[in-house]
Amino acid sequence: MSEPVSPGVPRHVAFDVPRHVAIIMDGNGRWAKARGLPRVAGHREGAKAVRRTIQAAIDHGVPYLTLFAFSSENWQRPADEVADLTFLMKHYLRNELAELHEKGVRLRVIGERERFGPALAEELDAAERKTASNTKLTLVMAISYGGRAEIVTAVKRAMLAGVSPQEITEQSFSGFLSTADLPDPDLLIRTSGEQRVSNFLLWQIAYAEILFTPGLWPDFGAAEFAAALENYATRERRFGARPV
Ligand code: FPP
Q: Is the CB of 29 under 6 A from ligand 1?
A: yes
Res 5: pLDDT = 41
Residue-wise pLDDT for 72-110, tens only, equals 999 999 999 999 999 999 999 999 999 999 999 999 999
Q: Are 24 and 241 in contact (CB under 8 A)?
A: no
pLDDT band at 153 (very low <50, low <70, confident <90, very high): very high
In this model, does residue 14 exceed pLDDT 60? no
Rg, the chain, Cα only:
18
Q: Is the CB of 50 under 6 A from ligand 1?
A: yes
| Protein residue closest via CA to atom 18 of ligand 1 | 29
Res 239: pLDDT = 82
* Ordered domains of the chain (ranges, CATH): 20-146+187-196+209-233 (3.40.1180.10)
pTM over 0.85? The answer is yes
pLDDT band at 3 (very low <50, low <70, confident <90, very high): very low
In this model, does residue 8 exceed pLDDT 50? no
Q: How far apart are CA 110 and CA 35, in angstroms?
A: 33
| Protein residue closest via CA to atom 24 of ligand 1 | 29
Q: Are 46 and 215 in contact (CB under 8 A)?
A: no
Q: Are 187 and 211 in contact (CB under 8 A)?
A: yes
CA of 154 to the centre of ligand 1 (A): 27
CA of 85 to the centre of ligand 1 (A): 8
In this model, does residue 7 exceed pLDDT 50? no
Once rounded to an integer, what is the mean pLDDT over residues 128-140? Answer: 98
CA of 192 to the centre of ligand 1 (A): 11
pLDDT band at 71 (very low <50, low <70, confident <90, very high): very high
Give the residue, out of 80, 217, 219, 220, with the most ligand 1 atoms within 8 A of its beta carbon, to mutate for a pocket test.
Answer: 217
Residue-wise pLDDT for 32-70, tens only, equals 999 999 999 999 999 999 999 999 999 999 999 999 999
In this model, does residue 163 exceed pLDDT 60? yes
pLDDT band at 15 (very low <50, low <70, confident <90, very high): low
In this model, does residue 11 exceed pLDDT 50? no
Burial 213-225 (b: 16+ CB within 10 A, else e): bebbbbbbbbebb
Of 6-10, 196-200, 236-240, least confident by mean pLDDT is 6-10
In this model, does residue 215 exceed pLDDT 50? yes
pLDDT band at 9 (very low <50, low <70, confident <90, very high): very low
